[in-house]
Chains A and B, each alone.
Chain A
Amino acid sequence: MKNRIIITTIFITSLFLGACKKTLDLNPADQIATSTFYKSKADFDEALAAVYASLQPEEFAVGMGFRDCFTDNGYNQFNSGSSKDFVQGNFNPTTGGYETGIYNDSYVGIARVNLFLQNLGNYKGSDISDAQRKVYEGEVRFIRAFFYFQLYSIYGDVPLVLQPLDLSNQKQPKVPAAQVLTQITADLDYSIANLNTAAYYANGGHAAASSAKALKARVLLFAGFGNNGTPDPAMLAQVRDLCLDLMGQYKLSTNFEDIFRDATQKNNTEIIFSINFLAPNNTTPWDLYYGDYDACAPLQNMVDAFECTDGLPYGTSPLTDTKNQFKNRDPRLAKTVYADSVYFGPGKVYHPSNLRPTGYGTIKFLEPNNMPYGFSTLSQQDAVILRLGEVMLMYAEAQNEVAGPDATVYKAMADLRARVGMPAYPAGYNKDQMRERIRHERRIELAFEGLRHYDLLRWHIAGPVLNAVKTSLINYHFEDKFYHWPLPQTEIDKSGGVLIQNPDYK
């Protein structure tokens, strides 16, 4: 008996002892080892999806309205992106928010592009044709240009990373902004030359050549104003030509609001590029943030900026009704701003759970069918990044600067305004008068689409405009150094002296 027990135990024990060293070789069950991926076209398609998805973070998509809270347009009661710190002038290399968000997430996207290009270069499989190879490259370089434009426009000089980095070469110095610009245009030129010529809405949701053209127009329009707001005619001529091209290919959406609503975004002939979402598994909280939290509250001066239906400013126009602010106003007001409650007509009312600190909220991006808005609302509205409306404004602006307010400028503006039933501009404007109207038109048409910030920077009017804001709950304070944001302090620290802070923040 005793021997039997001992023998059995020794036997069982030795089974464990014999568990060979393989016991210690374990592999994850739900992740892919790098060495086994990038073996077919399907792998590249999945990698491409992840490149596009790198556009989805808040600051590039759902937070586009929050970007307007860095301007005279809106107020973010939650200080999303540190917008309150920025407009109050308490902005420094450690502020964080979008200062680090835009920087970090741009490089995440750039890294995905660079890794994609490297792996594509190494791939020899025949299931990817040369033409397809060029389309892949064009698409990801378009996205890389988008990110570099974010960095270029906000920080100026930044590290230019075109190859995957690792621990050995991670400390990268910044390069002059001009060099970043050169890379952006090079990437976009490649995309324009190699991407499909079909319009974006007919290109299955992939960036088209026209998407790259529109982005290039925006980039050049920004770059064309230099560092002091003085336009460069040669660059603006390029902008004008790119826009003309696009205006021939795209058509305005019949209804202004259709551009931003879920059901009418698909195949919308105005959209030149959008960042897409799809419920239930790939959503972004448009309705929660704008419709329930009121995270983007239009300021009174923004509301006042909408003209009356006669085309005259609110307050000046005889149609002004101070008792009922929304009466007789540019229809885009009611399609951009809600007062107190979200109202889409009788029975389509939602009362946000949060306070409206300015008395207003942004209705532009809300989907009526998603009511009531809340935590579990699954919003899938696409973030419209480039659209014909902006292109027409860019055309008018560029043409006005290059050639003055000619008939094409008038027509572009008249067409854009006619869509919402607003009258054309009166004839006889000089260049300066037209410039003011176009700039105003941009603020109205593109309200909360995140472009106001760029505009204030490139026109070099951020100081006078922001320091004049008196209708917010906080005191605005803008200094010239804010034309370029500081690089995040953590990056300066981690680079061990390789990356140099922008001079105004040292």
Chain B
Amino acid sequence: MYKKSAAIRCREWPCLRSKLFLIMKLSFFLCLVTILQVSAATSFAQKISLDKNNASLAETLQEIHLQSGFSVFYNAKLLKKAVPVNVHLQNADLSDVLKQCFQNQPFSYVVNNNTIVVTPKPAVAKPVQVITITGQVKDEKGVGLPGVTVKVKGTNTGAQTDMSGFYKIEVNDNNAVLVFSFIGFVSQEIAVGNQTRIDVALKEQTSALSEIVVVGYGTQKKVNLTGAVSSVTGETLNKRPVVNPASMLQGLAPGVAINVGSGEPGNESVSIRIRGNSTFSGAGSDPLILIDGVPGNFSDINPTDIDNVSVLKDAASASIYGSRAANGVVLITTKQGKSGQMAVTYDGNVGFYSPTKMFKLVTNSAQYMELFNQARINSGTTDPGSLYPQDQIDLYRNSTDRLHYPNTDWLSLIFRTAPTQNHNLTFTGGNEKTTYNVSLGYVNQQGIERGFDYKRYNARINLTSKINDHIKFGTNVLLKSGTRDAVAGNPSSPSQWDGSSMDLFLSAMSQAPTYGPYLTDGSGRYTYKAYDFEYNNKNPIAVLDQNYKRVTNDYAVNAQGWFEVQFNKDFSWYTKGAVNFNMDKYKDFKATLDEYNFRTNQLQTSLDLGKGLTDQDEQTVYTNLYSYLNYAHNFHGHNVKAQFGYSVEQSKYQYLQGYRKNFADIDLQELNAGGSDIQNAYGTSNQWALMSYFGRVDYDFKGRYLLEGNIRYDGSSRFYGANKWGVFPSFSAGWRATEEPFVKALNLTWLDNFKLRGSWGQLGNQNVGNYPYQALLNFTGNYSFDNSTLTTGVAQQNLNNPTIKWETTTMTDIGLDITIFKNLSLTADWYNKTTSDILRQAQVTAAVGLGAPTINNGVVNNRGIEVGLSYNNVIRDGGLKGFAYNVGVNVDHNRNKLVQFGQTEIGDYTINQNGQPWNSFYMLQVIGIFQSAAEVANSPKQFSDSTLPGDLKYKDVNGDGKIDQNDKTIIGGVYPKLNYSFNIGASFKGFDLSAMAQGVYGVKSYVSGWGTIPFVQGASPTTDWLNAWTPEHPSTTMPRIYFGQSAPDKIGRRSSYFLQDASYLRLKNLVFGYTLPAQITKKIGINRLRVYFAGDNLITITKFKGLDPERYGSGDQVQYPQNKIYSFGLNVTL
């Protein structure tokens, strides 16, 4: 029976085919077929008769199909190449028939069950042609260059030149192209053709002049830039072995101050400040972060995926981002694929983290007990029931039984040296039409503070494809999944009192050394004090052991699709659409804990940690679509470029939280397993939208005179009526003196580039609550009249202000770029940035009884200078031939001033006053320690204190003969006077070394709480307090010792005693690597193999007395410490 569908023609592949996919599919199919063939071999019984002369193969196969009933598969296109068939057989086996038919055919076949598949004949391997090419690479002066990389284009075959610049490389055919590249020189490509000897003279690169810089919605040649942009390569960033990519920017760009608030894994509180704190509004001073052109979260990126980071610092470069660019813009570009064979790169390291510094506490119990008694007595507690009896002190001092009379070092129980692993795998390659860069990353960071760990998985898929010469499209996709473990609590901020890393830290500090974490009876029960009069917080080891954790999962999916159409030489059109999906989930579980007296083993307290489970889901969906047209044309030396675009963004946030208490079984940590008597649910959502038009015009005349104008017109859902829309323009100009004929005529060979530039522009800030203009009532003030039902309360809580509008930042920038002697570059900028119409809370009198509305009022000014200097060179001859090195320095200074604040506002230890920096320190000034009763008597009376020798001596600032709150004074140092960094790098014969030192100067930090005054919650004093002032041992630095919270005000007042110099200079990063000679690694199939050591925060020079001077800011002394890292890594390219 004839089956119409029997001979199925394989359809032609669609035009959009990818060779890669084709190969994969085919080989998979063939594998399958080959495997199945074995089992099908028995069914060859059919007899066939054929009589064909010069018949087509297709026709013959049809006949076979009809006779045998076997289906036949073939590719019609393939079959066109068939030679005519001559076959004469009677009742022959199918196998014989096929054998004859396929004789001399350029195909083969396989038989499987009832199917015959025509397959291309495996090509007979042609003998590989090997052409050996030799030659010498020289510089322009004709001196041989060692260490030049010679590569066969599109392959991983490569070689390096020897000491005299000679090389030898093998290619497979005459079509091969050799690529010669060397740092500091322009790469060259040469087709092999019939040559076997190729000598090359490489041209020196005039340093950064040909560099391309990423700017808003495009790129720009660095020489033509008129704005202030700092650019950092991904390679430079990735020298740091740290996990958070934002912190890698530290010290690399002048005017960009990065502060890593904490070393807590996954919760580093990295702050990025570009040119100072420009506002005091809730809108904040964080820059806009864009990943491949779309707002995103810096810390979601895998650092190894970063190709380049551009920081747009002035108004001219940032104003194309209008209403969100007031604090500068950070543009991150991720790596795109490169055509050629697939290159696989593995980059991984294992680091060992330890605290940069740890408190030195008194851990000797006898010493602790004596200081405790002294502090209690000094604080007025003389009741013997609240003091350690002398016999007990002696027991601790003299006992050899350290089980029952321990000297417990609690901090050592929660801090440790912890490993971090970091593995990255990148696949890149493609053909002329399609390229890909796919990467996978994994980080596992264990906290130096126990209980705080972080894991992150990253994947990135970047594809670019050319449809034809005019159209390109691509996708950038980021997937991230992070898991952060923390001790249950509120770990939202590692530097807040209720942040759980700090909470655990201070809990450990608050324990006395007189007892250990467990009872001595071996029962594993947890302790609570040895003596009832001791103070302490919860037993940190119990919390850790019991796994009372908050596990936070954060997921991010950033998907972008784009296309670009090049209509003709001048016109192009670019469009990108993006969806960012971010989800944060956490589960927080706590239960009560029984704690027992260390000495009596009696149940002392049932520690209540807020028994219950909180489960929260938060998600943000953000969409962005932008599209712009580009035009560029050169009219006889007049270069004109223009751009016009449109963008629309929408963001929706929602969260849902559930809570239950009273869990019967603490291992069942799901809401449904909790009691239903106490349960809560919360949830809300909010959204904002932004619509924008933007444009840019560039003009230059022969690269000599540069002009640029930008404009953005933004509409925001946050404002109302006419205030919805705002215009943000900017203008900039540049003059490259070195392009002037008269300068060229001077023939200044040492001067390569001299550019003067200036810019002016306005930027906006709209980052205030989502609905600030509307008059709203809140669900607040529930009340129970009858004590059995709760009536919902509704009240207006805030005044509203419908006329609210954009906050505006106006910035002027004057800059200078100079390059001399080809290798020495200087970039300097001066700027003046004024933010006005600040979106601040109105200063509303309490008599109104309602919260303040957001209004536009206030002016802040930031002024500063930034200088970046860099030098790089390669030694060309002598014994150090091939030695490449670079040196760089970045320095910046910023001065912040409240120009118009309104009524002075005094905070706890800060003041906001016109003419002073925002949040200036304001407190009593300590001028020493009273040494004698006579000195006390002869000094101004301090409050109503009973001042004693050994107490702090405050300065009578207003000279009225008494010390009171009127003697508080402004003390400078809230912002650093200078941020600076140095970096050096060198490479020679496979070795590479680089170091970066970073520092801040002239900044102070106010510290309080645990670790400042002794015995806060019983916290053991730092060893400094062993030298506390006593009549027998007077001290001029350490006052009398008082007892924690019951310490008299005279020691605890906000005063300069607690204001510490937080300036520092630290060796931020040191990398030493070695790349094995390619000749050796090639033998095991590896193109490049580098091993390296990278260290972080290795040396710190500071006067700061607390933990680490690099911290979140003023406030509690105790914060999760910074990490000192020793890491060892491996970099392999296949």
Q: Is the CB of B903 within 8 A of A111?
A: no
Tell yes or no: B46 within 8 A of A by CB. no
Q: Select B686's contact among A21, A25, A28, A491, beta carbons within 8 Å.
A: A28
Does B782 belong to the interface (CB within 8 Å)? yes
Bound together, the chains give a CA A46 to CA B781 distance in angstroms of 9
Instruction: Report whether A477 and B788 are in contact in the complex, using a CB–CB cutoff of 8 Å.
Output: no
Q: Does A29 lie at the interface of the complex (its beta carbon under 8 Å from any beta carbon of B)?
A: yes
Contact with A along B723-743 (1 / 0, CB 8 A): 010000000000000000000
Query: Quick check: is B796 within 8 A (CB to CB) of the other chain?
Result: yes
The answer on a CB contact under 8 Å between B605 and A353 is yes
Please state if A43 and B794 are interface contacts (CB–CB under 8 Å): yes
Taking the complex as formed, is A495 at the interface, i.e. its CB lies under 8 A from any CB of chain B? yes
CB distance from A206 to the nearest CB of B (A): 6
List residues of B (758-807) whose CB comes within 8 Å of A's CBs.
Answer: 770-771, 774-796, 799, 801
Interface residue count for B (Cβ, 8 Å)?
Answer: 100
B782–A107 touching, CB < 8 Å: no
A5 and B796 form a contact (CB under 8 A): no
Give a binary string over A262-301; 1 marks a CB under 8 Å from any B CB, 0 the rest: 0001100000000011111110000000000000000000
Whether A233 sits at the interface, judged by CB under 8 Å, is no
User: Does B722 lie at the interface of the complex (its beta carbon under 8 Å from any beta carbon of A)?
Assistant: no
- Given known A-B contacts A37-B794, A205-B784, A376-B610, A27 and B774 have beta carbons under 8 A apart: yes
Interface centre among A85, A494, A495 (most CB of B within 10 A): A494
* A496 sits at the interface (CB 8 A): yes
Residues of B within 8 A of A89 (CB): 943-944
A45 interface residue per 8 A CB criterion: yes
Contact of A47 with B787 in the complex, beta carbons under 8 Å: no
Select one of B380, B607, B781 contacting A353, CB under 8 A. B607
Interchain CB contact (< 8 A) of A372 among B608, B609, B716, B1046: B608
Query: Is A170 in contact with chain B by the CB < 8 A criterion?
Result: yes
Task: Give B689's nearest chain A residue, CB to CB.
Answer: A23
Q: Mark A1-30, 1 if CB is under 8 A from B, else 0.
A: 110011001001100110101011111111
Q: Are B625 and A103 in contact (CB under 8 A)?
A: no
B40 to chain A, nearest CB (A): 40
**Known interface pairs A28-B686, A33-B774, A493-B903. Does A167 touch B842 (Cβ–Cβ under 8 Å)?**
yes
Q: Is the beta-carbon distance between A92 and B965 smaller than 8 angstroms?
A: yes
B905 CB contacts on chain A under 8 angstroms: 490, 493
Indicate if B403 sits at the interface (CB-CB under 8 A): no
| Docked pose: A92 CA to B848 CA in angstroms | 23
Which residues of B have CB within 8 Å of A25? 717
Which of chain A's residues have a CB closer than 8 A to the CB of B778?
Answer: 31
Q: Mark B839-865, 1 if CB is under 8 A from A, else 0.
A: 000111111111001010000000000
Judged by a CB distance under 8 angstroms, whether A88 is at the interface is yes
- Chain B residue at minimal CB-CB distance from A266: B787
| B794 and A376 within 8 A (CB) | no
Q: Check if A5 sits within 8 Å of B783, measured CB to CB.
A: no
Are the C-beta atoms of B787 and A376 separated by less than 8 Å?
Answer: no
Of chain B, the residue at the smallest CB distance from A30 is B684
Among B467-475, B546-554, B985-993, the stretch that binds chain A is: B467-475
Among residues of B, the one whose C-beta sits closest to the C-beta of A490 is B905
Least distance between A322 CB and chain B CB atoms (Å): 15
A378 — which chain B residues lie within 8 A by C-beta? 678
Contact (Cβ within 8 A) B782 A205: no
Q: Find out whether the CB atom of B625 lies under 8 angstroms from the CB atom of A16.
A: yes
Please give, as numbers and ranges, the residues of chain B lying within 8 Å of A104 by CB-CB distance: 846
Per the bound structure, the CA–CA distance linking A382 and B783 in Å amounts to: 11
Min C-beta distance of B603 to chain A, whole Å:
9
Total A residues in contact with B, Cβ cutoff 8 Å: 104
Residues of A within 8 A of B648 (CB): 16-17, 19, 23
Is B691 at the interface (CB under 8 A from chain A)?
yes
Distance of A43 Cα from B794 Cα, bound (Å): 8
Contacts of B468 in A (CB 8 A): 2
Instruction: Identify the interface centre among A111, A277, A473: most chain B CB within 10 Å of its CB.
Output: A111
Contact A276 B785 (CB under 8 A): yes
Instruction: Evaluate whether A49 and B781 lie within 8 angstroms (CB atoms) in the complex, with A21-B715, A103-B846, A495-B845 already known.
Output: yes
Query: CA–CA, A9 to B194, complex, Å?
Result: 47
- Among A78-111, those with CB < 8 Å from B are 78, 84-85, 88-90, 92, 94, 100, 103-104, 107-111
- A359 nearest CB across to chain B (Å): 7
Find out whether the CB atom of B15 lies under 8 angstroms from the CB atom of A1.
yes
Does B456 sit within 8 A of A, measured CB to CB? no
CB-based contact A159/B379 at 8 Å: no
Q: Which of A6, A31, A171 contacts B777 (CB 8 A)?
A: A31
| A208 vs chain B, min Cβ distance (A) | 12
Cβ of B1045 within 8 Å of any chain A Cβ, yes or no, is yes
Quick one: CB contact mask for B893-931 with A, threshold 8 Å, 1 for yes?
000000000011110000000000000000000000000
Interface residues of B in 185-199 (CB under 8 A from A): none
Q: How far is the CA of A158 from the CA of B571 in the complex (A)?
A: 71
A313 to chain B minimum Cβ distance, whole angstroms, is 24
Residues of A contacting B799 in the complex (Cβ-Cβ under 8 angstroms): 166-167
Bound Cα distance A493, B775 (Å):
27
Partner of B785, one of A27, A52, A170, A496: A52
- Which residues from chain A contact B610 at a C-beta distance below 8 Å? 375-376
A-B pairs with beta carbons under 8 A, tally: 271
Whether, in the assembled complex, A156 has its beta carbon less than 8 Å from a beta carbon of chain B, the answer is no
The A contact surface, by secondary structure, is loop
> How far, in angstroms, from A102 to B518 measured CA to CA in the complex?
46
Asked if B44 lies at the interface with its beta carbon under 8 angstroms from chain A, I say no
CB atoms of A90 and B944 under 8 A apart:
yes
A165 in contact with B848 (CB, 8 Å):
yes
Q: Across the two chains, which residue of chain A brings its CB closest to B906?
A: A94
Residue B1090 is within 8 A (CB to CB) of chain A in the complex? no
B775/A33 in contact, CB under 8 A: yes
CB nearest to A78 among chain B residues:
B1045
Asked if B850 and A111 sit within 8 Å, CB to CB, the answer is: yes
Q: Are B609 and A375 in contact (CB under 8 A)?
A: yes
Across the interface, name the chain A residue whose C-beta is closest to B725.
A24
Complex Cα distance A54/B943, Å? 36
A494 touches B843 (CB 8 A): yes
Q: Which residue of A lies closest to B609 (CB)?
A: A375
B435 interface residue, CB < 8 Å from A?
A: no
* A29 CA / B781 CA spacing, docked (Å): 19
Bound complex: CA of A266 vs CA of B784, how far in Å? Answer: 12
Given A170-B848, A473-B1046, A474-B1048: A32 and B777 interface contact (C-beta under 8 Å): yes
Instruction: Check if B965 sits within 8 Å of A382, measured CB to CB.
Output: no
Q: How far is the CA of A103 from the CA of B849 in the complex (A)?
A: 10
Which residues of A have CB within 8 Å of B716? 24
Question: Separation in Å of the A95 CB from the closest CB of chain B?
Answer: 8
The interface residues of chain A lying within 8 Å CB-to-CB of B473 are 5
B471 touching A5, Cβ below 8 Å: yes
Tell me whether A159 and B770 are in contact in the complex, defined as CB-CB below 8 angstroms, given that A32-B794, A282-B790 are known contacts. Answer: no
For residue A281, which residues in chain B have a CB less than 8 angstroms away from its CB? 680, 782, 790
Say whether B771 contacts A28, CB under 8 Å: yes
C-alpha gap A103/B848 in the complex (Å): 11
Q: Does B533 contact A (CB under 8 A)?
A: yes
In the complex, what residues of A have CB within 8 A of residue B364's CB? Answer: none
A159-B847, A280-B678, A489-B906 known; A49+B783 contact, CB < 8 A: yes
Whether the pair B791, A45 counts as a contact (CB closer than 8 A) is yes
The CA-CA distance from A491 to B724 in the complex, in Å, is: 33
A50 sits at the interface (CB 8 A)? yes
**Cα–Cα, bound, A20→B291 (Å):** 27
Given A46-B793, A351-B604, 17 extra CB contacts under 8 A: A16-B625, A26-B717, A28-B774, A34-B775, A50-B781, A52-B793, A53-B793, A77-B1046, A103-B846, A165-B847, A167-B844, A204-B785, A276-B783, A276-B785, A281-B782, A354-B535, A377-B608
Give 28 CB contacts A-B under 8 Å: A6-B471, A23-B650, A24-B717, A26-B688, A26-B770, A27-B774, A29-B686, A32-B777, A34-B775, A46-B793, A46-B794, A47-B793, A49-B781, A50-B780, A50-B793, A51-B795, A108-B850, A112-B849, A161-B848, A165-B850, A166-B848, A167-B801, A170-B847, A205-B787, A278-B788, A282-B782, A473-B379, A493-B904
- Nearest first, the 6 A-B pairs at minimum CB distance are A111-B849, A374-B608, A50-B781, A205-B785, A53-B781, A50-B793
